[in-house]
Structure formats: structure tokens, C-alpha cells
Amino acid sequence: MEPGAAQAGCSLPTELQDAIILQLGPAERRNVASVCRHWEEVVRSQQRRLDLGNLLGSERAAAVQALLAGVHKRRSQLQELSAAVEMPEGWPTLAIVISRLDATVLHTLHIWGGHSALPPSTTLCLTSLRRLVLRDLKQAPPDATLLSQLTHLELHYSGAVYGWIDVGDEVVLPDSLAALRQLREISLSWTPGDNIDGDWMDLANPEMLARLPALKYASLDSFELPNLDWLQGLRTVTRLALCNLRTYEVAGGVGTTPFSTDSFSTALEPLVQLRFLDLQDCGLTELPASVAALPCLRLLNLQDNPLRRLPAGPYQRSLEVLNLEGVKLHILERMVPALHGMPRLAVLGIRSSGPTGGPYGLQFRSRVREVLDGLPALKTLHLSGYPNYAGVLRRELPALDMRQHCLCTTDYQLEAEGTGQRSSSSRDCQ
């Protein structure tokens, strides 16, 4: 590049330079930083996140010190830190890193690969933390009282850490979790390892979630639970995700089975404030009656449930996003009357579970079009598993946003919250 080109960039107002960098992705920022020393400093001045990768560990101390020296001038602007703790020896190094940053500015910490619990020595450095994400854990933080400023907590347990599940192995949430009086969102999930027999882990005390007075969002994924009664205590929660849950209370006490529709209906009945509900892969054959009665429900995920029909109910009037991926063709046909009773439905997800050609393909096209013709507010259709028909629909309905991938309800939750827009039915529920 000619010298004059670099100088031209320097002549731009500082505010404009910052605005340019904020519009770029990570790869593009690296390219800009390589132009000249000035643009490298501009890019570094916008750095808000520090990713240590797998640098933690005694044998990598020199690399960590060099990295810290490089970010010392920006310590007061770093808001997010991520690191892998592959061995227990990595925790002291992480504590040193955190102590070098401005604790009043650092609000998000991502840790993965931690085969042991978050030690008190590290927790002491995080008293101002707002968001904590711990992946590949075997235990929760032992003393959550030191994290009293947390508003978001994610605990992802992994079978790769357990190595093998014995009878009696379970996840136990610490009693100190109740000290998180400002916690608004909590997410708990289990991921089996390659050598783990079984897709679920026992969660011993889910009732701990009812002791969080500010909780607005709760998510549980792939756990075995004794019952669902604890859900009745989540009176402040407006967004709830209960994915792939099973119960071990079965005849003979061996094996797992989905909860019954009645169990879900009874447990969710008091939660009339729900606006977002995710019941993916819970083995439901019917929509729980209490869900159909929700007056403010805006998003409902029923993906991968063996549903037989959709009932009528108050939820139809407020529903804006519905995921029916995995519903069979003849069942979708039965759901047409209920779908046509959803005047606000703007996003729909369906998936072909049969062949894409021949008589089945023609029948599928006919049924999908029948559904669409009765949805006046529909703007986006996620039609996965049938790329040929997606092209046909684009030509027939050019105003419809066709997407050939699965519907991710989390994206629509964030989109709805980020816009700050509410339907009139939601305002009625305030």
C-alpha cells in the first residue's frame, strides 16, 4: 500500500474511525489492523473481548504474561474474558489475569474445559461480574454468594468430564445459588460424552430455581427429573425452555420416560405470565391444556414432539412464532384449523419428514400451501428438508421470507427483546 493511503485514514475524525471499526467482523478487523500502525491502534482501541484460548497453565505462564503486557493499556475497556481451563493448575493463572483487568468493567466471563469447580480464589476476583458461562463442568461454583451481582448464569455439564456415569451420579445445584438475588437468566444443560451410555443426567434439586426472586428466563436441557412440581414456583419467569426432559420415576425404577402431558399441564398452570415457551423433544403427544390457555404466549417451540393435533385456545390470539418441525404430514393436515386461528402468527417452522419427490412431494406441497393461505400475518417460513419446494414457494409468494434451515427459537427470542416491540396482546398482560 502507498504511504499516502495510510495517512488518508489518519485524517478521518476519530469518531468516524471508531464507527467504521464497529461495523466490521473479527476477520475484517484483523485485515484492517494489518494496514498500518495507526489502524492497528484504532482496532485495538475498540477491543472489548479478550480470548485466552488454552494459554492457561504453568507451562504457558510466559505466553500469558506477554499477552497481559500487550493489553495493559486497554485493561479498563475489556468487558469480556474467555479462557479454557484444561487442568486445575490453570485456575491460579486465570485469577492473575482477572486481577490485572479492571474488575468494575469486566462483566462477562466464559470458561470451558474446567474439569474442577470454580475455586474461591478466582471467585473473589469476580464480585462485580454480571454474566458467567461455565462449560464442560462437573460441579457448580461452590460459593455463589461471592457472585451476588450476577444477572446471567450458564452451567453446561459434560459427559466428557465425567468419563463414565455410575449409579448415583447427579448434578446438585449449590444452596448458595439462592444468594443471587439479581439473577435474571439461568441456563442448565447436559451433553453426553462419546463413552456415556444415556442422553440424560440426573438433576437432584431443580427446585432451587424457585428461590431466585428476579428470575425471568430459565432453561433446562437433557436432564432427568423426579417431577415437574417445582415449575409452579417460577412465578416471575416469562421465558421458559424445557428441552429433552425425562423422568426416572417409572415402574420398576429402571430407565427413563417422557413426562406425561398432564404432568406438564399441572406444573405450568400457574405460569400465566409466560411469553416464550420451548418444549422441544419432550415426548408430548398433545399440547398441555394449560399451555393452550396462556393468554400472552408469543413464541412456542414444539419441535420433535409426536403431536397428534393442536387444540384451540387463548394462545392462538397472541402467538407470533411457532415451530412444528418434525410433525408428520397427516398430522399437519389436522392442525390446519388451529393454525388458521392464529391471526398474529408471523414465523412458522415445518420440516418434511418424507421423500421430496413423487406423490408424497406433491401432497406435501399442497398441504403447506393450504396452511399458508390461512395465515395473513405470516412473514417468515422455515421449510427445512425440501429445497425444491422452497424455490417454488419463492416464485409463488415473493413477499414471503423463505429460509431453508431449521427455526432457531432463541434467535427470535433475542430479536423480540432487542426491538422492544410488543404486540397489543402482550401489553394487555402487563
When divided into structural domains, the chain yields a total of 2
* Res 272: pLDDT: 96
Are residues 47 and 78 in contact, defined by beta-carbon separation less than 8 angstroms?
Answer: yes
Which whole number is the average pLDDT over 332-346? 94
345, part of any domain: yes
| CATH classification at residue 356 | 3.80.10
Q: Which residues, listed in sequence order, are joined to residue 82 by a DSSP beta bridge?
A: 51, 110
Q: Residue 24: which of 84, 8, 34, 73 has the closest Cα?
A: 34
- The CA distances from residue 77 to 44, 47, 71, 107, 128, in Å, are 10, 7, 10, 11, 15
Q: Is 311 among the domain residues? A: yes
Least confident of 25-34, 237-246, 323-332, 394-403: 25-34
In a domain, 57, yes or no: no
The answer to the question of residue 416 being in a domain is yes
CATH number of the domain residue 6 falls in: 1.20.1280
Is there a domain that residue 319 lies in?
Answer: yes
Spell out the SS3 assignment of 308-352.
Answer: CCCCCCCHHHHCCEEECCCCCHHHHHHHHHHHCCCCCCCEEEEEC
More confident residue, 65 or 274: 274
Does residue 250 form part of some domain?
Answer: no
pLDDT at 217: 96
Residue 239 lies in a domain: no
Has residue 170 been placed in a domain?
no
Q: What is the pLDDT of residue 164?
A: 47
- Residues 229-273: tens digit of each pLDDT: 999 999 999 999 999 999 876 544 455 789 999 999 999 999 999
Range of the domain at 20: 1-46
What is the average per-residue pLDDT within 145-173?
75
Instruction: State in Å, rounded, how far the first CA of the chain is from the last one.
Output: 59
